[in-house]
Chains A and B, each alone.
Chain A
Amino acid sequence: MTLGPCALRVLDLHKAYRSRRVLRGVSFAVEPGTLVGIVGENGSGKSTLLRVLSGQLAADSGEVERRGTLGYCPQATVLNDALTVDQHLRWFRTAYRLDGTRRADELLDELRFAEYRHTRVEVLSGGTRQKLNLTLALMHDPDVLLLDEPYQGFDWETYLRFWDVAARLRDRGRCVLVVSHLAWDAGRLDVVHRLKDGVAAPWSAQERTGVPQGASR
């Protein structure tokens, strides 16, 4: 399989948990500078797909090719309660081999939680924890971003700011793949793939508009 201009290419991906076949031949490709949505009902395999794409989970068969660095934001916040926001940034700065935390500092301002920089994570609200969860995935400015419902717990203002951040990343040539609530987000996405019966199919604009709010997950 050749990669061509795509930042991410998925070919015939299969994954089963014992007898339950979750992914049954998922294929799609994403070009740089694209904001892609993955939608589907509960248990349709969205999180499994993202875990396979990030390399955390082995697929039974199929291929994944990625061009460039990866940023992964898990659905549940994965943080260390004993550490402050700033200590998280310092630890991940070392992990990503960054010289500084300039991009993280920008995100702290953009998502409006810089005031909690020296606060321990265990006392942060759910929304602020999620902001840090997202920041840790974005702070190294990766080429390919896999975001699993990254706005859970956000208030409306922060939700809108998240989409501003995502759109700016897309405009700078990043490939952003978001597991998303279709009804709210469809208009903000360049491409939508619907995961159904273990297969991802492109979802057209007409289909998207016909779905009632919140019905997609």
Chain B
Amino acid sequence: MRRAWEVFRTGAGFALLEHARNRLAIVLVVVYIPLWLTMEHWFVTPAPARFLLRATGRTVTVDGNHLTMVSGAVNTVTLIVGFMMFMTTFKALAFDSRLALAGYPRSCLLVGKVIAMTVASALVAGYATLIVCWYWDPVRPVLLALGLFTAAVSYGGIGILLGAFLRSDLAGLFVIIMTSLLDTMLQNPMSNTEADKQGLQFLPGYGPTQIGVAAGFTSTDASLGHLLLGPAWFLLMWALGTAAFFVRTRNHLRVPTPPPTASPV
């Protein structure tokens, strides 16, 4: 039990430290989120926009500027956490394989990374919510933060999957940026007048955007199902990335025979 705790604590601690030392990600969090949301606040029209809340089947008419800020917050947190998890998975693949070869339990290694990602996602979502609250007052800010958190973890999972399979960091960053931009653009009726069309539910930004809008503009709408969509996306992506990691790091040799005599240390 003590060994398991030590293994888990070591992996999670160093995974968190790695995020904390990712200067580019920290700069993006500190500068990019407020810059993006401030520009949307300045330049996007407050004209009313109609948004279909599928949890209740109700269409709400909301301030287009505020709606775009919710969408922008989803966009920024997904980009940053997706980027963080892609880079950490991509760069650490050989190192993690070496740790696994040395005997570090692979499950502990991966769970440690998930813990670190969860902490980073919570901080980034909380920070983005604070910026939104600086400009206007969402009806339920805690639920908005929760919605942004689910957006962050879903793209964290996508980042892990891309990091496990792609062989170029540029390709990974391109895919994350384009997916996140397209996803949030399609969910927002300000940029897509057909945002209430069937089929958009199958994109990762759907659940978090529904929660974000419900949190920003209503006091009752929102369903647990929508709140779980982001984590479900994460689990699916993470499971695929984890399977790839287990396949790649499996030992192809039989269990070695013990040495003939005790090893002097």
Contact = CB atoms under 8 A, between A and B. Distances in A.
Interface in B80-131: 91-92, 94-95, 97-99, 101-104
B245 to A, nearest CB: 13
A27 interface: no
Interface string A191-202: 000000000000
Contacts, number: 96
A172 B264 contact: yes
Contacts of B18: 80, 82-83
Contacts of A64: 253
A121 to B, nearest CB: 10
B264 A66 contact: no
Interface string A83-126: 10001001110111100001100000000000000001000000
A96 to B, nearest CB: 6
A77 to B, nearest CB: 10
Given A83-B18, A103-B265, A172-B264, A95 B256 contact: no
B246 to A, nearest CB: 14
- Most chain B beta-carbon contacts within 10 A, residue among A69, A95, A97, A102: A95
A83 B21 CA distance: 9
Contacts of B99: 91-92, 95
Contacts of B265: 102-103, 141
Given A55-B251, A80-B95, A67 B260 contact: yes
* Range of interface residues on A (Cβ < 8 Å): 35 or more
B192 interface: no
A3 to B, nearest CB: 6
A152 B122 CA distance: 43
A57 B252 contact: yes
A56 B103 contact: no
A25 to B, nearest CB: 18
Interface in B1-37: 3, 6-7, 10-11, 14, 17-18, 21-22
Interface of A: 3, 5, 7, 32, 52, 54-59, 64-70, 72, 74, 78-83, 87, 90-92, 94-97, 102-103, 120, 136, 140-141, 143, 172-173
Given A67-B257, A83-B17, A92-B102, 6 more contacts: A66-B256, A68-B257, A72-B98, A78-B94, A81-B91, A96-B102
